[in-house]
Amino acid sequence: MAVYEYTAKDQSGSKFTGVSSDVNSVAVLREELDKMGYVLVKARKNGADGKKHKSIKPSEIVTFTYKFSGMYSAGLTIIKCLETLEEQTENGTFRDMLTDIRQSVETGSSLKKAFEKYKDVFSDFFLGMIEAGESGGKLAEVLEMSAGYLDKQAELKRKVKSAFVYPIVVGIVCIVVVAFLLIFIVPMFSKLYQKLHVQLPGPTQMLVSLSNLIRYWWWMLLIIGVALIVFLRKLQKKRYFKTKWDYFKLKIPVFAKLNRMVLVSHFTRTFAMLISVGVSLIEALQVASRVANNYKITEISEELQDSVQAGNPVGKSLKKYDIFPPMITQLAISGEEIGQLPEMLKKGADFLDKDIERMISSLLVKIEPALTVIMGSIVGFILMGVYLPMLDYMRHLK
């Protein structure tokens, strides 16, 4: 279904605007409005159900959830909350989305179904929490918990990304320096050696060839690079490739342990939050695996569901899989014994997040000097290749 912004007139001739996401053409929209006694004036497809969703930042979702929770806790109705947030939202795409959600609620839709149309923006976790809050009469509490959860996840992502800013910057600087040497410095020395009729050693010949390739065939390299990016993006959508990549991330040298810890933290916290608001164990496992978005976890989740349905405790079921640290499994076992499984799992996720921060710091201590050595070696090789013929020439002069 497409999303249309429209202007219509009522029977008195007054114009009003709206958004509809339940139609796939302007003709169908006109028919729907005719049934309600309205006349369509104009309509345009705004794409709020497609690529524009990417312009909505996670921080905007967190802010929205916190505000929604606060206003609803203060006694405002759901519609009034959405209406107020709609007016306050600066992001046009997000505002259109909230308008459609509010209109769906006004026409009798449940809050969960209204948000479900935008599940690529509002995660399975958020939808599951909303559904649990509506059915259990704890919507305000659930919204606040959801906001805290989303904030923690966003913060963890920010920390992981910011931690690797320095290595990325060093890598970019290395590429720029190498490109400058190959494009400007190597050709200059190459012309000099040709005039002097100096025989070029192997490393220098390699540099000259690489320099010529970049200077004269850059357009072909650009085409190959773009084609490779397009190919890899298409490949990512294939289930087989995605499965292999998910498994590889959990075995990749240096980063495997960090990836496993981030994945388990995400899965554990999601599962704990869902069961804390009354979502069944089976449904919570299903949602947690979708939120984690990793085929390895999906397989484990399916086996855990079978184990739980067979009457086995969650803690003992988790113990079968080495991806879960002993701390998590032990906390789960203890939590079930004292009837506080969600609380114990949340504590476990908090411990994991702290371990993740320490591991990132430890990795950076190892990565930074390694990058410096690699960068120095590459630049050193280029300079050696540039000056080797000069040294040979000076030796022959003597």
Please state, in angstroms and rounded to a whole number, the distance separating the CA atoms of residues 357 and 269. Answer: 16
Supply the DSSP symbol for 238.
S
Q: Are 262 and 271 in contact (CB under 8 A)?
A: no
pLDDT at 342: 93
* Whether residues 127 and 256 fall in one domain: no
* Whether residues 178 and 145 fall in one domain: no
Q: Which of 132, 162, 192 is the last residue of a domain?
A: 162
At position 14, the amino acid (one-letter code) is S
Q: Which of 113, 141, 162 is the last residue of a domain?
A: 162
* Whether residues 300 and 201 fall in one domain: yes
* Whether residues 339 and 303 fall in one domain: yes
pLDDT tens-digit readout, 133-160:
888 888 888 888 888 888 888 888 887 7
Q: Which of 162, 185, 203 is the last residue of a domain?
A: 162
* Whether residues 173 and 66 fall in one domain: no
Q: How is residue 378 written in tokens?
A: 């590459």
Q: How is residue 52 written in tokens?
A: 């524009």
Supply the DSSP symbol for 18.
E
* Whether residues 177 and 304 fall in one domain: yes
* Whether residues 61 and 182 fall in one domain: no
The number of folded domains in the chain is 3
Dihedral sign from CA coordinates of 79, 84, 89, 92: positive
> What CATH number corresponds to the domain at position 248?
1.20.81.30
Q: How many CB atoms lie within 10 A of CB 139?
A: 21
* Whether residues 81 and 120 fall in one domain: yes
Q: In the beta sheet, which residues pair with residue 45?
A: 4
pLDDT at 53: 45
* Whether residues 290 and 375 fall in one domain: yes
pLDDT beneath 70: ranges in the chain: 1-3, 21-25, 45-54, 395-398
Residue 266: which of 243, 294, 245, 239 has the closest Cα?
294
Q: How is residue 154 written in tokens?
A: 């966003």
Q: Are 324 and 267 in contact (CB under 8 A)?
A: no
Q: Where are the beta strands (DSSP E) in 51-179?
A: none
pLDDT at 48: 45
* Whether residues 42 and 60 fall in one domain: no
DSSP annotation string for 295-317: HHHHHHHHHHHHHHHTT--HHHH
Q: Are 102 and 117 in contact (CB under 8 A)?
A: no
Q: How is residue 51 written in tokens?
A: 């690529």
Please state, in angstroms and rounded to a whole number, the distance separating the CA atoms of residues 96 and 89. Answer: 10
* Whether residues 133 and 245 fall in one domain: no
* Whether residues 157 and 196 fall in one domain: no
The residue segments making up the domain with residue 351 are: 169-398
pLDDT at 314: 92
